[in-house]
Amino acid sequence: MVVFMKKTKNYQNIEAFLRNHGSLPLKRYSYSDIKKMTNSFRHKLGQGGYGGVYKGRLLDGCYVAVKNLIDSEGNGEEFINEVASISRTSHVNIVTLLGFCFEGLTRALIYEYMSNGSLEKFICEKDQSQTNHSLKWETLYQIAIGIARGLEYLHRGYFGLAKICPKRESIVSMIGVRETIGYIAPKVFSRNFGTVSHKSDVYSYGMMVIEMTRGRQSNNVGVDNSSELYFTQWVYERLEVDEELGLQGISNEEDKERVRKMIIVSLWCIQTNPSDRPIMSREVEMLEGSINSLQIPPKPFLSSPRSAPRDSSINLLS
């Protein structure tokens, strides 16, 4: 009875909190609305570390992507604060939040639907003849810059992984990030690496760029293609002696320069010591600047030989 009264009081507090945020440019949906728009969660688009993403359709016919959050903790005020913060973002490289659901234990976010799908299907598809090579290196390079610009924008308001971690903790539940472990900075799992900060996002960005380049690895280069660790070590050694990287689809000198920039920047991003990782604004400068101004970073220490599980909803705010 005491527990029920406590939950009821918390719920009343959140409802009052929502009324005070009545000017939010978002629509609040009920759980019933969510079930209707997703046809009872029938069409799953992907699974991220914090929940499944489902295709939905609004009454006006517009398609949306609904992220049903799992393992939600707290009384909901932090979630609503995050919704209020995200609703104020506006950037060409960030998917738009259209609405949310807060009802009982249900927490869901409704985003605009990206008809081209996730980046993952373009960089991890086994049948490279149909998908990977449909994106030229110039396009992948521009995607890397666009994502970096989006993160730079979010970091100005200090969004990112540091916002979802309790301030008193430096470890995120392994259950909560089970689908995206390969993209998570070491310090998220161990206090020995420091506290979670925006540099954790930098690490994740670097691992994503590594995946973008590893997806174009030739089959005859003699390196284990099952692990980011082995690929990273291999490509670093190639950079040190200025050898060809052996990646598919490089057709001219401009491509060679783009690929080299992407790899050097990604290696800087995954440095073990967070203070050695450049901030996102610097990452953008490095990608857009001259290749001659880039220095090869110290060899990063990656402790896990295990490949990251595929996250089929790779995008900036998924």
Q: Please check whether residues 154 and 288 belong to one and the same domain.
A: yes
Looking up residue 172, the CATH number of its domain turns out to be: 1.10.510.10
Per-residue confidence (pLDDT) for residue 104, from 0 to 100: 82
Mean pLDDT of 171-192: 43
Domain-ending residue, one of 86, 112, 138? 112
Task: Kindly state whether residue 236 falls inside one of the protein's structural domains.
Answer: yes
Q: Is the pLDDT of residue 2 over 70?
A: no
**What are 27-51's pLDDT values in tens digits?**
889 999 999 999 999 999 988 767 8
Q: How many domains does the chain have?
A: 2
Domain-ending residue, one of 93, 112, 131? 112
Per-residue confidence (pLDDT) for residue 24, from 0 to 100: 62
Q: Is the pLDDT of residue 23 over 70?
A: no
Domain-ending residue, one of 92, 112, 132? 112
Q: Please check whether residues 215 and 280 belong to one and the same domain.
A: yes
Per-residue confidence (pLDDT) for residue 222, from 0 to 100: 54
Mean pLDDT of 141-152: 94
Cα–Cα distance between 83 and 286 in angstroms, integer? Answer: 32
Mean pLDDT of 62-83: 79
pLDDT higher at 93 or 225: 93
Per-residue confidence (pLDDT) for residue 12, from 0 to 100: 67
Greatest mean pLDDT range, 14-28, 72-86, 220-234, 290-304: 290-304
Q: Please check whether residues 88 and 148 belong to one and the same domain.
A: no
Mean pLDDT of 50-77: 85
Residue found by looking up tokens 């909803």 in the block: 313
Mean pLDDT of 105-123: 85
pLDDT higher at 102 or 48: 102
Task: Kindly state whether residue 311 falls inside one of the protein's structural domains.
Answer: no
Mean pLDDT of 89-101: 88
Task: Kindly state whether residue 76 falls inside one of the protein's structural domains.
Answer: yes
Q: Please check whether residues 100 and 155 belong to one and the same domain.
A: no
Q: Please check whether residues 44 and 65 belong to one and the same domain.
A: yes
Residue found by looking up tokens 């783009």 in the block: 258
Cα–Cα distance between 199 and 195 in angstroms, integer? Answer: 10
Cα–Cα distance between 10 and 190 in angstroms, integer? Answer: 32
Among the listed ranges 63-77, 181-195, 283-297, which one has the minimum average pLDDT value? 181-195
Looking up residue 102, the CATH number of its domain turns out to be: 3.30.200.20
Per-residue confidence (pLDDT) for residue 182, from 0 to 100: 52
pLDDT band at 26 (very low <50, low <70, confident <90, very high): confident
Cα–Cα distance between 316 and 318 in angstroms, integer? Answer: 6
Q: Please check whether residues 129 and 67 belong to one and the same domain.
A: no
Contact in structure between 229 and 304 (CB atoms under 8 Å):
yes
Task: Kindly state whether residue 304 falls inside one of the protein's structural domains.
Answer: no
Q: Please check whether residues 146 and 273 belong to one and the same domain.
A: yes
Q: Please check whether residues 204 and 285 belong to one and the same domain.
A: yes
pTM of full prediction above 0.85: no
Mean pLDDT of 79-97: 82
User: Which tokens sit at 105?
Assistant: 């234990």
Q: Please check whether residues 196 and 259 belong to one and the same domain.
A: yes
Q: Please check whether residues 132 and 177 belong to one and the same domain.
A: yes
Q: Please check whether residues 52 and 149 belong to one and the same domain.
A: no
Which domain covers residue 18, as residue numbers? Answer: 2-112
Task: Kindly state whether residue 212 falls inside one of the protein's structural domains.
Answer: yes
Mean pLDDT of 10-19: 65
- Counting beta carbons within 10 angstroms of the beta carbon of residue 171, is it exposed (0 to 12), middle (13 to 18) or buried (19 or more)? middle
Per-residue confidence (pLDDT) for residue 180, from 0 to 100: 44
Q: Please check whether residues 200 and 129 belong to one and the same domain.
A: yes
**What are 244-281's pLDDT values in tens digits?**
877 888 889 999 999 999 999 999 999 988 899 999 99
CA distance to 62, 148, 159, 242, per residue, from 112 (Å)? 9, 20, 19, 43
Mean pLDDT of the chain: 75
Mean pLDDT of 284-309: 77
- Amino acid 74 reads G
Cα–Cα distance between 202 and 183 in angstroms, integer? Answer: 10
Mean pLDDT of 132-158: 85
Task: Kindly state whether residue 302 falls inside one of the protein's structural domains.
Answer: no
Cα–Cα distance between 13 and 89 in angstroms, integer? Answer: 26
